[in-house]
Amino acid sequence: MRWKPRGRSANLEDRRGANLGARSGVRLGLGGVVLLLVLSVLFKRDFFTLLDAGGAGAALPATGSPGIDEEEPMVQFVSFVLDDAQGLWARLLPEAGVQYRDAKLVLFRDVVQSACGFAQAASGPFYCPSDQKVYIDLGFYDELRSRFGAPGDFAQAYVLAHEIGHHVQSLLGTDAQVRSVQRSRPELANEFSVRLELQADCYAGIWARSTAQRDMLQQGDMEEGLGAAAAVGDDRIQRMSGQYVNPDAFTHGSSDQRVAWFRRGFSTGRMDACDTFSSGNL
């Protein structure tokens, strides 16, 4: 992918070097973090706040932390993709009668606290509509390459563009409508989750199309993006986990579905073409 570093995005929040107990002077090891995480889940109370002495603001990465400096080129890259994708949606959404508001991108390691609760790196990148932030442990990109067999910078860009697609859904009210249906019709929860995810794939394809129109794509880039979409299909992940493929348990869509909807966004460049909720056959 042809891109030029522009420095860190103003919408980047870097928590990679933060220790969850550092604000109160308490240093937690991994065991302590896991313990507080389990207690928070069991009792539905944020036990990490017991460590907070009332400080506010984003955590800054510790200088000299192992891996922090080595990841700076990746930080520059995700900053570029973040700003570029959000610049596109800032132009497109007003056409749909909605003012675009930037999402924040939170970089973390191992465990992170969000307005949607606690998450571990093993959960993969995610978007939290409650705080309108995307959360990524950059180590996921190593997993994408080595474990899922989806290397390349455009594969990495697809992942972030997909999460920004969820932010677009939040601004449009699509996410809230889906959650409402899932609460009232639990038997449709998985189906509507799949439709939401495939629409985010389609929105990622719209951004990919915009990069092609600006001559930013290089040979093989589109194949990298399609490879990433296929790599994280529910059927493939089930097979990798040693399970039988069970479409009823899908929450994100099959590899073929994810590729198809990413292609649709890329080929049309239109938001109305991404209406997965009116599509009878996904």
The label of the residue with tokens 């984003």 reads: 58
Per-residue pLDDT tens over the stretch 15-30: 998 755 444 344 455 5
CA 60 – CA 13 distance, rounded (Å): 8
CA 74 – CA 80 distance, rounded (Å): 10
Percent of the chain with pLDDT over 90: 77
Residue 40 pLDDT greater than 50, yes or no: yes
Looking at this protein, which amino acid is placed at residue 269? Answer: G
Burial of residue 176 (CB within 10 Å: 0-12, 13-18, 19+) is exposed
Instruction: Judge contact between 134 and 114, C-beta under 8 A.
Output: no
Return the axis-axis angle of helices 189-213 and 153-172, rounded to nearest 10°: 120
More confident residue, 119 or 265: 265
Residue 150 pLDDT greater than 70, yes or no: yes
- Structure token pair of residue 246: 């069970």
Q: What is the pTM of this model?
A: 0.84
Instruction: Judge contact between 121 and 33, C-beta under 8 A.
Output: no
CA 192 – CA 209 distance, rounded (Å): 26
Mean pLDDT score of the chain = 87
pLDDT mean over 238-259: 94
